[in-house]
Structure 1
């Protein structure tokens, strides 16, 4: 067996630790050396993935909280101005429409977070026949990193559509670019 655990999920690593401890508690001493190695490797991999100790919340970030609130406000404005329903998108030829917000009503989490390009990247998006309108606030990884706004229209399948924008914009310019993109992609409400 290999000790390369990079592809393992946190749940799999925890199960490996538990299994190794069960083997170490057993009477078969032939397996103890290998079980000890796996337990240590799994514990080390878990420790590397933890941002904060278990049970401890991340430090509050007032700038990020304000950005999330502003994104929600823009989403409410967009929903009032444009018909962003999945039915309308499907009627216009979009086979996989985007919900503007996540199911919980919060901004979605960008693909840039999953690829570790960004530490946090709340965003809203709408997919229309001419591309995807996106508004994001991205917080790069690293201590003391400053977040930035970006918005506009991107092509379906482009890097920006998958992981978010790289270029910073002034907040109001990003919001205006997003609303302009929506005006090109979605019908206005009567």
Structure 2
């Protein structure tokens, strides 16, 4: 009976032809660590150089520069670790946003300006949390928790000053924007 359990447990890695086995083979070949980050960086840099026209209309120069930058970016494992940290969290955030859209659609009209603003704020908070969580584990901002480490200790010590500063800046921005709603009215 134990032999049957062992063969079932090792089925996904050794044989069977499952999707998990295929992904495992791609991982061992370095596709997720080197090939996909290389292609993503190359495509982004090439698109930016081509669209901006910074180096002229010579595509060969754009290709060579994009190739050089994307290969240099993969010289150390910094980029691979970053992509391995941020993309799984981005998938989780997109799932949470999808559930939020479904639940909010029961109660809100998405054509109103307030609903779009609220959803934008929710998405922005999610993006900030994902980026900070990715940086905290990989790059020494914390010990694996979002609210742990020297960055967060400094934030806790100075939270009152930061909150007051944000409120003052928010008020400075909000007062002119929310000023006179009746252009014909005089004070």
* Bigger fraction of residues in helix: 2
Q: TM-score, normalised by structure 2?
A: 0.27
Which structure: larger Rg?
2
Q: Which has the higher contact order (CA 8 A, sep 6+)?
A: 1
Q: TM-score, normalised by structure 1?
A: 0.27
